[in-house]
Amino acid sequence: MNGLEIDPFIAALPKVELHVHIEGTLTPALRWKLAHRNNISLPYKTYDELANSYKVTYNHRREVNGDNGAPTFLEAYFAGCQVLCTEDDFYELAMDYFKKAHEMNVRYVEPFFDTQAHTRRGIPAEAVLNGYLRAQQESVGKYSVRSNWIFCFLRDEALEDGLDAYRAALPWARTRDGKGKGLFHAVGLASNEYNRPPLLFEEAFRLAKEDGLHITMHCDVDQKDAVEHMHEAIFDICDGAGTERIDHGLNAIDREGLIPGLKSRGIGLTLCPHAYHRRQATEVLFPKIRRLWDEGVKICINSDDPTYMHNVWIDGNMMKVYKYCGFTKADMVTLVRNAVEISWADEGTKTEILKELELVIC
C-alpha cells in the first residue's frame, strides 16, 4: 500500500465486491498447505521463498509490454491454480475468501470463477462447482456474506471449449426455469484479451442470455485495441443490446462516444484501482477515475486478484481512491451505493445494504 494506512471510516464502511477472481484470492499460506496435501511440487523450497515470490510486480502482458524478465500476471495466477485439486480445496479457497470478506465488512460479493483452468488439468468440473456451491451456502450463516457467482469464459481459449464448459456448468446456474442449483447468475469474459475481442464470444453471450443469465465482460486497461473492445461491449454484443456491465473499462475516456454510450445504456464499470496503480503513476491514474466519476459514469471499487497484487484488497482499493481522487465520505458511500445498484443481488439484499448505508455518518 506504499505506506497508505486504511482509514477507520473505510474499514467500517459496508462493502459490495463485484470484481474479484476467486483464484486471485489464493493466499501463499493456503497454496503451501494444498501443495503438501495434494503432493504437488512447488518451485520454492521454503514457505518464505513462496511468500517472497508474490512481492514482484508482474509483467502484466508480455505481448503488450515486451519481456522484462518478470513472470506475467497470468503465469503466476495459473501456477497458483495448480494446487487446487479436490472439491474440498475449492471449498476452502472460497471459505478463506469469505472469512476475509467478513473481516472487511463486505456484505455481498459476485466472485468470478472458471472451470476451464481446472478441467484442462484433469480436475472434474463438479469438484470446482460443488466446492464453491457449498461455500456459497455456508458463508451466509457463518460469515454473513451473501454471493452470486459469475462463470467466466477464458477468452484466450477457443469458443467451442468455452461453450462446452458452460453447458457442463449450467446445472449449477440460477437459470430462468428455476431448476438450477443457484451458484452463478451471470457469465463473464476473463483472461488474456490480446487479439480476443468480445464479439468472438457473441454466441456464448447470446446463449447465456437465453438461459436468463446476466452478462459482463472484461475490457482491461491499456490493452491492445482496448477502445475497440469497449465499443463492441457497449454497442455490438448481444445483437447490439450491449453488455450489462464492464469489468475495468477505464479506457472509456480515450474515445469520444464511449462515455455517453455507458451512460445512456446504464452500463456500470467495476474498477480495480490498485491493479492500474501498479502500472500508472498516481498523478496520471487517479484523475482518470475522477473524470469518469465527474462525467456521471456509474463506477464502483473492487479488488481483482488481491493476493497477486501485493495483498491489496477491496478496503485498500477504496482507501486509494478516497485519498488520491479526493473523494469525500459521502462520495465513498455513493460508490458503495453504485455497487449495490449495478449488482444483480436480489431486492431484499439490496434494500438491506442500502438501509445500512443510510446510517453511515459522513
Q: Which residues bind Zn ion (CB under 5 A)?
A: 304
Which is closer to Zn ion, CB of 27 or CB of 302? 302
Helix pair angle (314-324, 282-294), 10° resolution: 90
Which is closer to Zn ion, CB of 110 or CB of 304? 304
Assign residue 122 a region (left: φ > 0; alpha: ψ between -120 and 50; beta: otherwise): left
Shortest reach from residue 303's CB to Zn ion, in Å? 9
Shortest reach from residue 270's CB to Zn ion, in Å? 8
Which is closer to Zn ion, CB of 77 or CB of 90? 77
Which is closer to Zn ion, CB of 192 or CB of 334? 192
SS3 at position 189: strand
Angle (CA) 205-211-216 rounded to 5° is 35
Which is closer to Zn ion, CB of 35 or CB of 113? 113
Shortest reach from residue 361's CB to Zn ion, in Å? 33
Contacts of 336 (CB under 8 A, 6+ apart): 13, 14, 15, 16, 300, 353, 357
Shortest reach from residue 85's CB to Zn ion, in Å? 24
CA 99, CA 18: separation in Å to the nearest integer? 17
Shortest reach from residue 188's CB to Zn ion, in Å? 8
Which is closer to Zn ion, CB of 114 or CB of 304? 304
Residue 188 sits at φ, ψ, to 5 deg, of -135, 180
Bridge partners (DSSP) of residue 109 are 17, 147
Q: Are 266 and 234 in contact (CB under 8 A)?
A: no
Shortest reach from residue 115's CB to Zn ion, in Å? 17
- How many residues are present in the chain? 362
